[in-house]
């Protein structure tokens, strides 16, 4: 049996809500699948927001959910990821 690994580069609450959480749902159908979240932030805690104390309740709820999934090991996180854009060659 082969383990599948998905690498996801997303940021912002809308991307978390629409894409990352959808992949977590798919992961339930294939528990051996590994989900790796790649982000430019220094620490994953930066995306959790205010959680229970967040002024925007929807954003707070997303922060809580993602925090739980990361702590449970459902999502592996790689931080401080940067990509070269290639624009310097065009200019």
Question: Over pLDDT 90: what percentage of the chain?
Answer: 11
**Kind of pairing between the strands at 34-38 and 5-9:** parallel
Record the pTM: 0.74
- pLDDT for 86 equals 59
Q: Which residue has the higher pLDDT, 57 or 8?
A: 57
């Amino acid at each position: 049996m082969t383990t599948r690994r998905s690498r996801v580069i997303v940021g912002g609450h809308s991307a978390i809500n629409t894409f990352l959480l959808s992949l977590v749902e798919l992961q339930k159908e294939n528990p051996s699948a590994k989900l790796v979240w790649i982000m430019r932030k220094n620490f994953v805690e930066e995306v959790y927001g205010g959680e229970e104390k967040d002024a925007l309740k929807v954003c707070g709820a997303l922060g809580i959910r993602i925090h739980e999934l990361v702590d449970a090991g459902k999502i592996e996180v790689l931080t401080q990821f940067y990509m070269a854009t290639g624009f310097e060659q065009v200019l």
